[in-house]
A = this chain, B = another copy of it.
Amino acid sequence: MRVTINDIAKKAQVSPSTVSRVIADSPLISAATKEKVLKIIKEMNYHPNIIARSLVNRSSRIIGVVMPGMAEQSFQHPFFPELLAGIASMANKEGYKILLANVATLDEEREMVKELTFGSITAGLILLTSRDQNPTVDQLVEVGFPFVVIGRTENPYVNWVDNDNFLIGYQLVEHFLDQGHRRVAFLGYSPGVTVTRDRLHGYKKALVDHGIPFCEELVVESEFISANGYDLMKRLLALRERPTAVIACDDLLAFGAIKAIHEAGLKVPVDIAVAGINNVPLAEFYNPPLTSVKINAFTLGKKAFEMLQTVLTSDVRSYNRAIIPAELVVRSSSLATKE
């Protein structure tokens, strides 16, 4: 049988409330009783029942992290673990525990979030989503539950952290233009996914700013991460006029694309230059080493938790957004070998 606050109270010959006060380190308690109770707590190896405590407090020290995609996939990509590490590092420090929730579909996400919020398991939520319209987000806003989104959402009443995806797209184009390219393709645009759309906007703007006409056929749509860069690239290779450079929305996409390029008997970067985004560990060692953008997922996660804590502790409602800087890492996959 588990030892409860009542057992301690009995043994110490005080009331449960006194024990409770000792635990809470209330100033109203005499040094003598405090000491006595503390000793017995130790002796009996008592630990407060967090569930009971949460029930009466109507709040736990648990925050939920809701990730899209089945567990099998989510963790495949180094981005997620890194993000999680960032969240966990802060959460640990602040005495919060992390509840992991993987959801495969939007419906599942909605149900999960309902369970987590109304079920009052979690004190707050960190939501990983980058769809511009997300019913879960709207619902959360409506009920006023504390949460933070990683990835931009269009609902204005939302705290979020994200990279500057517009800038990322913009800079990648500029990088290629610097290398003398004029036909730059964009691989992996997924309508409705803000991350890719923001990058695409950056891409377009950069073209315009440099007087290059935008060419519809150079934008290849896809599902986000799960997509197959190999197949997408083939579409580009089939064009009458091929691109000379490709921006892939993710490194994994880029790897697939490079494979397709090689199979077509072409060389990277001589025939077609390639750059990815996310800077996965493999990028550096790939053949050729892949130009990419360091996204700082760890910082993204850290910041998300910090924001959530602000929401949790302050009573004024404010809506913040944090932009975590990204960093272009140039490697040989995108470098013109000579002028």
Contact = CB atoms under 8 A, between A and B. Distances in A.
Interface of A: 2-3, 45-52, 54-55, 60, 62, 70-72, 74-76, 78, 80-82, 84-89, 92, 97-102, 114-115, 117-121, 281-282, 285-287, 298
B88 A102 contact: yes
A2 B118 contact: yes
Given A62-B99, A88-B100, A285-B282, A51 B121 contact: yes
A81 B75 contact: yes
B71 A120 contact: no
Given A97-B100, A98-B100, A99-B99, A119 B85 contact: no
Contacts of A101: 97-98
B47 A119 contact: yes
Contacts of A281: 281-282
20 contacts: A46-B118, A47-B118, A49-B119, A50-B119, A50-B120, A51-B119, A51-B121, A62-B121, A70-B92, A71-B86, A71-B87, A72-B89, A72-B298, A78-B78, A81-B84, A89-B102, A92-B102, A97-B100, A99-B99, A282-B282
A75 B281 CA distance: 13
Nearest to A92: B102
A92 B98 CA distance: 15
Contacts of A52: 55
Contacts of A115: 47, 50
A71 B118 CA distance: 29
A288 to B, nearest CB: 11
